[in-house]
Amino acid sequence: MRTIQIEDFDDWRAKARKLIGNQVPPSEVQLFDRDGQQSLFGDPSDLDEASGATFRVSREFVSLAQAVGYHRDFNRWNLLYRTLWRIKTDQPHLLEIETDPDVHRLIQMEKQVRRDAHKMKAFVRFRKVERDEKEYFIAWHQPDHRIVRRVAPFFSRRFKGMNWAILTPDESVTWDQSELHFGPGVTRSDAPGFDELEDLWRTYYANIFNPARVKVKMMKSEMPVRYWKNLPEADIIADLLTDAPKRVEEMIQQHEGFEQTAINFIKPTEGESFTLATLKEMAIECTACDLCRDATQTVFGTGPVEAKIVLLGEQPGDQEDIAGVPFVGPAGKVLNEAIDNAGLDRDKLYLTNVVKHFKHIETNTEGIPNGKRRLHQKPNAREVRCCRPWFDAEWSCLEDAEFLVCLGETAARAILGPGNKISEVRGRLLSTDYCAKTIVTWHPAAILRSPRESHRQEKMRELIKDLALAGV
């Protein structure tokens, strides 16, 4: 049994190439990194260099392996080598089998590394230190995985004009405004303590904190409590959460952050809080914009309050307007098919729209206005803003929601802001004010409107893929 030490991904790739070239099966080699428990390591220099120099692997595998290389699992190099061996010997399409135990584990590890990198970018807080009449900024962070080298280039781009250092238990990195330098890990005591930047962070956080959107469970998921000790704003989170109900009531009274005419309809009775049922009753009376005049009724969201996945569309259509339920017309049938193919259960989803009334014009069969046919019209920006507080209130009731799927451009712009095109953001996992796991995809009506069958099929495949991502 060979035991070989691995320094990093590049070192693994070079040694794995030698091992594959010399036909060394995974059962005959153990790969360990610097933190492994083996004290004696084999030397692969006796392997034939040339025999392993010609084969290639897909970019997909290389990208996956690079990410997994940052994972803390000590067995990651063996898992990667076993997968590479299987790909090169008899299973060239192994990565397409996501149910395979090795592939599934690698995908999960890659997601954990990606999530940890996102946390580092979000939760690193620099403190200013003055030395030799120069300003330096130092931060302490404790990531789950060895991601310093993966994330450091992000900070060098973002804070290009600063001299900074990020200290972690595994490894540290400094930036001198021209080059990154890596060094050994340090303890928390090596990081500087309080300074005036902490007060600045607290003030900033208190001002951006929106009590109408706060969800404690999601907050703790996206900003785990163990990170709080390193965040200056964490000192005030408890007080902000305690004051949240009072702040919501003040926002309602002052119309803060909402369209004034719309928020007047969202008022709980004294001593009660919002529920989906009470909100639905309130929405029936909404006349915040002119759309209520021609629509048959308000079409509110539907689904269980414990739903983990929320689907947000644009507005009800003709059949939804008559039935009073979202996604029951032709677009709803397409959505049902996509939900089934994605392996989801519609009864466990919460479905709603940004706009709750059907906007349309009436024509006759020749398309002349004022006829009997009701043709969909896209809501304008004011109508979306006016109706938006209803979704804000719905979202605040969905405490277990973990994934927000925006169906179509109107929903995407309502959540992400103007200027976001589906072609640019579709299928990407995004973090928004509402949900850290937000994705934009096609509205099923857009699939129906596609002129070519090939386009419809392609968009349908993408919709199914995006919905399946929400169910992972």
Asked whether residue 257 carries a pLDDT value surpassing 60, the answer given is no
**Encoded amino acid at 225, one letter:** V
* Span of 143-147, 151-155, 468-472 with lowest mean pLDDT: 468-472
On whether the CB atoms of residues 331 and 443 are closer than 8 A, the answer is: yes
Q: Dihedrals φ, ψ of 146, to 5°?
A: -85, 70
Question: What pLDDT digit, counting tens, does each position of 39-86 carry?
Answer: 344 555 556 554 444 678 888 999 999 999 999 999 999 999 999 999
Asked whether residue 88 carries a pLDDT value surpassing 60, the answer given is yes
**Tokens at residue 410, please?**
């109107």
Write the burial class of residue 338 (CB in 10 Å: 0-12 exposed, 13-18 middle, 19+ buried): buried
Q: What distance in Å separates the CA atoms of residue 237 and residue 215, rounded to the nearest whole number?
A: 12
pLDDT at 109: 94
Q: What distance in Å separates the CA atoms of residue 204 and residue 220, rounded to the nearest whole number?
A: 19
pLDDT at 229: 56
Residue 392 neighbours by CB distance under 10 Å:
17
Indicate yes or no: pTM above 0.85: no
For CA atoms 220, 226, 230, 232, give the dihedral sign. positive
Q: Domains (ranges, CATH) in the chain?
A: 2-119 (no CATH), 124-190 (no CATH), 199-240 (no CATH), 258-470 (3.40.470.10)
- DSSP-H helix ranges across 98-195: 101-123, 148-158
Mapped onto helix, strand or coil, the DSSP state of residue 295 is coil
Q: What distance in Å separates the CA atoms of residue 462 and residue 459, rounded to the nearest whole number?
A: 5
Going by C-beta distance under 8 Å and a sequence separation of 6 or more, which residues neighbour residue 5? 31, 32, 33, 34, 36, 38, 41
Could you give the angle at the alpha carbon of 463 between the alpha carbons of 458 and 465, nearest 5°?
95
Percent of the chain clearing pLDDT 90 (strictly above): 45
Q: What distance in Å separates the CA atoms of residue 258 and residue 241, rounded to the nearest whole number?
A: 21
* Span of 127-136, 232-241, 407-416 with lowest mean pLDDT: 232-241
Average pLDDT estimate for 411-423: 85
**Tokens at residue 376, please?**
């969909």
**Tokens at residue 257, please?**
């952050």
pLDDT at 212: 47
